[in-house]
Amino acid sequence: MSAREPVTPRRRPPLALIGFMGSGKSVVGALVAELAGVPFRDLDQMVVAQAGLSVAEIFATRDEAYFRSLEKRLLPDSLEPGAVVALGGGAVLDDESWTLVAERALSVYLEVSFETIWDRIHGQPGRPLLAGRSRAEVEALLERRRPRYMKARRTVDGDRPVDVVAAEVLQLWSA
Ligand code: S3P
């Protein structure tokens, strides 16, 4: 690339959205990608496509370790330069995975209050980590994960309308 060539969106490092279940990573990510005119990657969907099973089916017929191994294996492919990537809520807990995300992507934590998260996700089908867990237990899971989420390069208040959140995320990525 010559020194004068403009940096186009496709050459930016990927934008990796991280955060707890129900924080809006997929919805915000798809909107940011649409606004920026770049590809959108959803790591959960990549895992589902690879396994030929839904996330819930993977947990039910195999186990969480199998899901995590697929998630970890597909992570590098998801981090495509210029793309917006929604990572599953547990995808950055593995230290090697987190290092890869931190090195390759602009990581953005969508921080959403537990009240909002719980309203969105409780009773929702297809969320195996919620099965048999009380509200307090899910909140405790969020608290255990929060220190990792807080390591993201940027944190955005996700407790606002999706278009407002997406516009802010896009602005961060464009800066
Ligand atoms: C998980 C979050 C889910 C999915 C799986 C496990 C987690 O993705 O990867 O159910 O460990 O938090 P979303 O965060 O997109 O719901």
pLDDT value, residue 2: 46
Question: pTM of the full predicted structure?
Answer: 0.94
* Cβ of residue 25 lying under 6 Å from some atom of ligand 1: yes
> For residue 45, how many other CB atoms are within 10 A of its CB?
16
pLDDT value, residue 11: 72
According to CATH, the topology of domain 14-160 is: Rossmann fold (3.40.50)
* Cβ of residue 129 lying under 6 Å from some atom of ligand 1: yes
DSSP 81: T
Q: Domain coordinates of the chain in residue numbers?
A: 14-160
Which residues, other chains included, contact 142 with Cβ-Cβ below 8 Å and sequence gap of 6+?
20, 114, 117
SS3 content of the chain, % helix, strand, coil (to 5): 55, 10, 35
Average pLDDT, 10 consecutive residues per value, the chain (175 residues): 50 95 98 97 98 97 97 98 98 98 98 97 92 96 98 98 98 94
* Cβ of residue 89 lying under 6 Å from some atom of ligand 1: yes
pLDDT value, residue 1: 46
Ligand 1 centroid–CA 21 distance in Å is: 5
pLDDT value, residue 47: 98
